[in-house]
Amino acid sequence: MRTRIIAVLVLIIPSWIMIPLEDRIQSENARLNYGTVRVTREMRDSIGQGMAIALLAGFRGVVADFVWIQSQGYFEKREWLRQYRNMEAASLLQPFSTFFWNIGAWHMAWNIGYAVSVDPANFTKAEGIKRQHEWWNKARDFLQRGIENVPSRPDLYYAMGWLYWEKYKDPCNAQTYFHEALEAKGAPMSLDTSFLVIRHMEARAMEKCGDVMGAYEYWKQLWFQDRTKVPEMWGVVEREIKRLEDVLNIPNNKRVFPKNQSKTTSVS
């Protein structure tokens, strides 16, 4: 009996002593955004009971993947609203990652958007265009929700920029978002080598939005970066600067690439 009491004490006392450590771990979890999102009844209904149990056992990622893979099946069956619901459920299961928000919005704007525009069920071509627009809006709202959940990462701003650039043909909004992407403080997950692409996009959007001079300055600024430190597609920058110098009729003595000179500028 005595030993059993000791056994119980050996379990209880350290557990209590460790409360500060436990709190520390929990707050660190919250700080790193691993916080658990409560499983609502609605979510449980959409993912099924078995999945909800897996969720409780700590297999959030696996459950989200399953829900996501299911959504792909709905796309093939042309059940787009169900696909939307599943993509939403997956995103809400791991809301603090840009992963599902990003790819989900891309599916809506590009794949579903295209599929509904050529849907034989459409009465008129105009109906197809209207439905396509609706899906772009869904994609935009979806990305917006993502940005609210993960404001610190560039991925979703970049995706939003692309949506405005390529789908809405709205370079000014696109530029805003490209800029946001570059300003985002959080460690970029997948874009660490892609920052140069975003910069190029911002420059292009700036030009299309009307600020051609600003765009020229932007490219020039890229051209004069420290080449030993920054990766850059130097050929692309050179081409753009030359083009804009022609468009803007920059006097030869102020050009980066004066017209009469041969192309011996150091190009890596």
Partner 1 sequence: MTEPTQKNIAAAKPKKEWVGFSVRRVATIGENTFTEAVRQKVYNILIVFALVVIASASFFSEFTFSEQLKFIKDFCLGALSVFGTLIAIVGTAQLLPNEVENRTIYTILAKPVRRFEFLLGKYMGSVLLIFVSLVMMSIMFSAALAFKEHRLVSDASRTMGNTSRVEEKQELQQQIQQIRSEVLDPNLVKAVLLIFAKLALLAAITLLISTVSTSMIFNVTVAFMVLIMGHLVGTAREMWSSNTWAKWLLALIPDLGSFNVADNIVLGNAIPWMHVGAVVLYGLVYTACTVAAAHFVFSDREI
Instruction: Tell the residue number behind the tokens 């920054």, with chain if given.
Output: 230
Binding string to partner 1 for residues 158 to 197, with x set by CB under 8 A, is what? Answer: -----------------------------x-xx--xx--x
Neighbours of 161 (CB within 10 A): 28
Q: How far apart are alpha carbons 63 and 67 in whole angstroms?
A: 6
Q: Tell whether residue 11 is a contact of partner 1 (CB under 8 A).
A: yes
Token representation of residue 211: 């600020």
User: CA of 245: how far to CAs of 175, 207, 220, 250, in Å?
Assistant: 21, 13, 10, 5
Cβ contact 113:137 at 8 Å? no
Residues 81-100 that bind partner 1 (CB under 8 A): 94, 96-97, 99
- Closer to partner 1 at the Cβ: 201 or 206? 201
Binding string to partner 1 for residues 35 to 74, with x set by CB under 8 A, is what? Answer: -x-x-----------------xxxxxxx-xx--xx--x--
Binding string to partner 1 for residues 226 to 265, with x set by CB under 8 A, is what? Answer: -------x-xx-----------------------------
Cβ contact 152:189 at 8 Å? no
Q: How many CA atoms lie within 13 A of 187 on its CB side?
A: 2
Query: Which residues sit at the interface with partner 1, rule CB under 8 A?
Result: 3-4, 6-8, 10-12, 14-16, 18-19, 21-22, 24-26, 28-29, 32-34, 36, 38, 56-62, 64-65, 68-69, 72, 94, 96-97, 99, 103, 187, 189-190, 193-194, 197, 233, 235-236
